[in-house]
Amino acid sequence: MSSVIASATRIVIKVGSSLVTAEGKGLDHEALARWAKEIAALKALGKEVVLVSSGAIAEGVQRLGWTKRPTTLHEKQAAAAVGQMGLVQGYESCFREHGLKTAQILLTHEDMKDRTRYLNARATLLTLLEHQVIPIINENDTVVTSEIKFGDNDTLGALVTNLIDGDALIILTDQQGLYSADPRKHPDAKFIHETEAGLPELEAMAGGAGSSVGTGGMYTKVIAAKRAARSGAHTVIASGREEKVLTRLADGEAIGTQLIARTSRLVARKQWLAAQLQVAGAVTLDDGAVRALMSGASLLPVGVTAIGGEFTRGDVVRCLKPDGTEVARGLINYSFEEAGRILRQPSNKIEEILGYLDEPELIHRDNLVLL
Ligand SMILES: Nc1ncnc2c1ncn2[C@@H]1O[C@H](COP(=O)(O)OP(=O)(O)O)[C@@H](O)[C@H]1O
Ligand SMILES: N[C@@H](CCC(=O)OP(=O)(O)O)C(=O)O
């Protein structure tokens, strides 16, 4: 059995509070340095890495001189705001030692639900990866309320994996991986080396957080693996205390629990797009654009002859052949008003016409499914 990480190129790594803080009291700077070193080694192997890191609240509590983790939402938010400074400062200086640039990204649930924000967040993250920057992501604790909260960074890690079409999600925690029951309470629990992500029995095995530092426990990790699998990504839950865990995983060593996604990344994305029932509009293509789409290209405004419906950026629209039959469906980059102004035009004219350029494609091929 070898690790799925060996063949993964785009990887989201989630480190829990217990791994970046000293027993929940302030940041463990040696730990941050170790993560930066390991991630630099993955980068050197040609992998793209996004880091989802907790630890803001724990660091904030320390900086504010509080003796325990607060219970009210506003105190937690205040602690997170203070602590996030330390978290990004710490990572920034550790990654700089390896010649790597970092970026701070704070997200909420709404950023993922709202299609326009979803596309913007996706484009920003992919651009950062293109420029070899390590995005460091946390929940935007300042603005969250219970309705828009991920609540735990395991869920955030999975949604980020979906967002950027990651090949794999690595969840690092304080246990070796998933056991048949919480090993803190059941010392005889059996270790699970490999299983299929999303199996209902896994949810029954996983309990809540075992420490006062972490939040979600194994349950949110198992659910995160199920979510990640929706976009075809495999998940590995492993111990962050294991020596050189990331580089060993990348070498193919099967450390931790592997939760395998059944459907491939591409098939999963196309299924998701095809299943979108709410279609906001349609664009009619010329014959050349239909041929381009069929051969796997993106849809450019130059190949569009008409539009219908009132859609906004990020909505799902139908792509119609000149005779009106549907050939494809995809997430559109421009609103119906904008699309109406740039249709039949070459992409290098978009900026001149609209005064700005979001993307040269009307629908990018990654966001397009042929029917
Ligand atoms: N079936 C299980 N297998 C392993 N750990 C479990 C299981 N059920 C509950 N846990 C608990 O989940 C904890 C890890 O989650 P959590 O404390 O939220 O960590 P993190 O901060 O890394 O997210 C473990 O320390 C363990 O006590
Ligand atoms: N946004 C919070 C993260 C909360 C959280 O999910 O923590 P954990 O269960 O340790 O990953 C923070 O940075 O403290």
Q: Which CATH number does the domain housing residue 204 bear? A: 3.40.1160.10
**Domain boundary pick from 246, 265, 284:** 265
- 251 with 342, same domain: the answer is no
Does a structural domain hold residue 285?
yes
Question: What is the model's pLDDT at position 1?
Answer: 76
- 137 with 251, same domain: the answer is yes
With a cut of 70, say whether residue 188 has pLDDT above it.
yes
Determine the atom of ligand 2 nearest the C-alpha atom of 213. Answer: 10
- Is residue 23 very low, low, confident or very high in pLDDT (cuts 50, 70, 90)? confident
Does a structural domain hold residue 270?
no
CA–centroid distance, residue 225 to ligand 1 (Å): 14
**What value does the mean pLDDT take over residues 43-52?**
98
CA–centroid distance, residue 213 to ligand 2 (Å): 8
More confident residue, 136 or 21: 136
Does a structural domain hold residue 154?
yes
Query: CB–CB of 316/331 below 8 Å?
Result: yes
**What value does the mean pLDDT take over residues 39-51?**
98
Determine the atom of ligand 2 nearest the C-alpha atom of 151. Answer: 6
Spatial distance between the Cα atoms of 255 and 266, rounded to a whole number of angstroms: 26
Spatial distance between the Cα atoms of 366 and 351, rounded to a whole number of angstroms: 22
Question: What is the model's pLDDT at position 160?
Answer: 96
Q: How far apart are the first and last CA of the chain?
A: 37
Residue in this structure with the two tokens 């090993």, named with its chain if needed = 183
User: Which residues line the annotated binding site for substrate?
Assistant: 54, 141, 153
- Is residue 284 very low, low, confident or very high in pLDDT (cuts 50, 70, 90)? very high
Does a structural domain hold residue 23?
yes
Question: What is the model's pLDDT at position 135?
Answer: 98
- 73 with 215, same domain: the answer is yes
Total tally of structural domains belonging to the chain: 2
The closest residue, in CA terms, to atom 6 on ligand 2 is 152
Q: Which CATH number does the domain housing residue 349 bear? A: 2.30.130.10
Does the Cβ of 151 fall within 6 Å of ligand 1? no
- 327 with 241, same domain: the answer is no
- 219 with 325, same domain: the answer is no
With a cut of 70, say whether residue 214 has pLDDT above it.
no
- 204 with 287, same domain: the answer is no
The closest residue, in CA terms, to atom 19 on ligand 1 is 214
Please name which of 206, 366, 228 lies closest in space to residue 297, comparing C-alpha atoms: 366
**Domain boundary pick from 201, 233, 265:** 265
- Is residue 210 very low, low, confident or very high in pLDDT (cuts 50, 70, 90)? low
**Residues 221, 164, 80, CA angle at the centre, nearest 5°?**
55
- 103 with 244, same domain: the answer is yes
Pocket lining for ligand 2, CB < 6 angstroms:
16-17, 54-58, 80, 138-139, 141, 152-153, 214-216
**Domain boundary pick from 205, 230, 265:** 265
User: Which residues line the annotated binding site for ATP?
Assistant: 14, 173-174, 215-221
With a cut of 80, say whether residue 24 has pLDDT above it.
no
Closest ligand to residue 80's CA: 2
- 158 with 297, same domain: the answer is no
With a cut of 70, say whether residue 318 has pLDDT above it.
yes
- Is residue 265 very low, low, confident or very high in pLDDT (cuts 50, 70, 90)? confident
233-253: pLDDT as tens digits = 999 999 999 999 999 999 999
Question: What is the model's pLDDT at position 18?
Answer: 86
Does the Cβ of 359 fall within 6 Å of ligand 1? no
The whole domain housing 21 covers 4-265
Determine the atom of ligand 1 nearest the C-alpha atom of 215. Answer: 18
Does a structural domain hold residue 231?
yes
Residues sharing a CB contact under 8 Å with residue 47, sequence separation 6 or more, in sequence order = 8, 9, 10, 11, 250
Question: What is the model's pLDDT at position 274?
Answer: 75
Lowest mean pLDDT among 31-45, 145-159, 186-200, 351-365: 145-159
Lowest mean pLDDT among 74-88, 212-226, 353-367: 212-226
Does a structural domain hold residue 85?
yes
Question: What is the model's pLDDT at position 144?
Answer: 84
Q: At what angle do helices 29-44 and 73-96 cross, to 10 degrees?
A: 50
Task: Supply the pTM of this predicted model.
Answer: 0.86
Closest ligand to residue 203's CA: 1
Does a structural domain hold residue 271?
no
CA 15 to chain centroid: 14
- 257 with 294, same domain: the answer is no
CA–centroid distance, residue 219 to ligand 2 (Å): 14
What are the phi and psi torsion angles at 252 (to 5°)? 105, 0
The closest residue, in CA terms, to atom 24 on ligand 1 is 210
**What value does the mean pLDDT take over residues 263-276?**
78
Question: What is the model's pLDDT at position 216?
Answer: 67
CA–centroid distance, residue 115 to ligand 1 (Å): 33
- 351 with 243, same domain: the answer is no
User: Which residues line the annotated binding site?
Assistant: 14, 54, 141, 153, 173-174, 215-221
Question: What is the model's pLDDT at position 206?
Answer: 85
CA–centroid distance, residue 240 to ligand 2 (Å): 15
User: Over the chain, what HEC string results?
Assistant: CCCHHHHCCEEEEEECHHHHECCCCCECHHHHHHHHHHHHHHHHCCCEEEEEECCHHHHHHHHCCCCCCCCCHHHHHHHHHHHHHHHHHHHHHHHHCCCCCEEEEEECHHHHHCHHHHHHHHHHHHHHHHCCCEEEEEECCCCCCHHHCCCCHHHHHHHHHHHCCCCEEEEEECCCCCECCCCCCCCCCCECCEEECCCHHHHHHCCCCCCCCCCCHHHHHHHHHHHHHHCCCEEEEEECCCCCHHHHHHCCCCCCEEEECCCCHHHHHHHHHHCCCCCCEEEEECHHHHHHHHCCCCECHHHEEEEEECCCCCCEEEEECCCCCEEEEEECCCCHHHHHHHCCCCHHHHHHHHCCCCCCCCECHHHEEEC
- Rounded to 10 degrees, the C-alpha dihedral 274/153/94/130 comes to 10
Spatial distance between the Cα atoms of 37 and 15, rounded to a whole number of angstroms: 14
Determine the atom of ligand 2 nearest the C-alpha atom of 215. Answer: 9
73-97: pLDDT as tens digits = 999 999 999 999 999 999 999 999 9
Exposure string over 37-72, b if 16+ CB within 10 A, otherwise e = bbbbebbeeebbbbbbbbbbbbbbbbeeeeeebbee
Spatial distance between the Cα atoms of 31 and 25, rounded to a whole number of angstroms: 13
Lowest mean pLDDT among 18-27, 50-59, 307-316: 18-27
- 127 with 51, same domain: the answer is yes
The closest residue, in CA terms, to atom 26 on ligand 1 is 210
Does the Cβ of 155 fall within 6 Å of ligand 1? no
Determine the atom of ligand 2 nearest the C-alpha atom of 141. Answer: 1
Question: What is the model's pLDDT at position 345?
Answer: 96
Closest ligand to residue 70's CA: 2
The closest residue, in CA terms, to atom 5 on ligand 1 is 182
Spatial distance between the Cα atoms of 327 and 274, rounded to a whole number of angstroms: 12
- 17 with 142, same domain: the answer is yes
What are the phi and psi torsion angles at 304 (to 5°)? -105, 130
Query: CB–CB of 333/364 below 8 Å?
Result: yes
**Best mutation site among 175, 178, 188, 202 for ligand 1, i.e. most ligand atoms within 8 A of its Cβ?**
175
Lowest mean pLDDT among 131-140, 207-216, 237-246: 207-216
Question: Over the chain, what is the mean pLDDT?
Answer: 92
Encoded tokens for 210: 């075992």
